[in-house]
Amino acid sequence: MNKFWSLIKNWFIAMGSPPSFYKWATTFLPWLGVLAFLTFSLGLVWGIGFAPPDYKQGDVYRILFIHVPSAILGQSIYLMMAVFGFISLVWRAKIAGMLLISAAPLGAGFTLVALVTGSIWGKPTWGTWWVWDARLTSTLILFFLYAAIIALHSSLDNKTKADRAVSILSVLGIAIVPIIKKSVDWWQTLHQPSTFSLTSSPSMTADMYQPLLMCVVGFYLVFIFMLTNSLRAEIISREKGRNWAQKQFFRREK
């Protein structure tokens, strides 16, 4: 067992080095892409094509299979970025700063999908595209936070300073995540209560819940694939002058 943990520890230490991560990512990215695509497609086809219609909303509820995983990703990517920000500030790990800024556009994308699909879903069910309700407004603030992190990082030429600045911002902004999560309990909102809960059983039947779980897993895998892809570009962009990058990127890709 100790050997297993020391292997895991050594793997994590190796992944903290940009050249090792780049080498690992280049090998596994196509496999990760195939796995992500299959799981993501299976979840969406199952949910949109085969799950039964909702007794109240009919077929329009199928937006849930896009909206809920996107909203979960939007919040969990931010949490992850705050952890990377903390690691970057405390241990000055270069890869943590790169991970943070590579994840930001992906988090912004998933949050935007959650906002837009929520708005599309709102029209036939609430009769409006948008209301300044606590859940919607706090999610919009999350999107602006992502945008602020991306803008701040790209405005600074010194990447070490840029990493530190966005790390501080991401750690400070973490308060938004529990606010979004609890907004439906703390305030009177049009938005329905959380679909997923660790403490209570699901509020929907198994034939709706199972494809939703599959979608969540598929979306996470797609995110891991896209993050690996973005991180490779970030590593190469910063380390293009190094010997290892000359060998592994420029010679390999010719």
Could you list the residues that contact other proteins (CB under 8 A)? 44, 48-49, 58-60, 62-63, 66-67, 70, 102, 105-106, 109-110, 112-113, 116-117, 120-121, 123-124, 222, 225-226, 229-230, 232-234, 236-237, 240, 249-250, 253
Q: Which is nearer to other proteins, 25 or 89 (CB)?
A: 25
Q: Which is nearer to other proteins, 16 or 105 (CB)?
A: 105
Closest distance to other proteins from the beta carbon of 192 (Å): 17
Closest distance to other proteins from the beta carbon of 67 (Å): 7
Closest distance to other proteins from the beta carbon of 119 (Å): 10
Q: Which is nearer to other proteins, 10 or 128 (CB)?
A: 128
DSSP letters for the chain: -HHHHHHHHHHHHHHTSHHHHHHHHHHHHHHHHHHHHHHHHHHHIIIIIISPPBTTTBGGGGGHHHHHHHHHHHHHHHHHHHHHHHHHHHH--HHHHHHHHHHHHHHHHHHHHHHHHHHHHHHHHHSSS----HHHHHHHHHHHHHHHHHHHHHH-S-HHHHHHHHHHHHHHGGGHHHHHHHHHHHS--SSPPPS--SSS--SS-HHHHHHHHHHHHHHHHHHHHHHHHHHHHHHHHHHTTSHHHIIIIIIHH-
Closest distance to other proteins from the beta carbon of 159 (Å): 15
**CA pair distance 4, 10, nearest whole angstrom:** 10
Q: Which is nearer to other proteins, 78 or 249 (CB)?
A: 249
Closest distance to other proteins from the beta carbon of 121 (Å): 7
Closest distance to other proteins from the beta carbon of 163 (Å): 18
Closest distance to other proteins from the beta carbon of 223 (Å): 9
Q: Which is nearer to other proteins, 7 or 45 (CB)?
A: 45
Q: Which is nearer to other proteins, 159 or 182 (CB)?
A: 159
**CA pair distance 40, 21, nearest whole angstrom:** 25
Q: Which is nearer to other proteins, 194 or 230 (CB)?
A: 230
- C-alpha torsion 105→150→249→157, nearest 10: 170
Distances (CA, A) of 143 to 57, 214, 237: 28, 25, 26
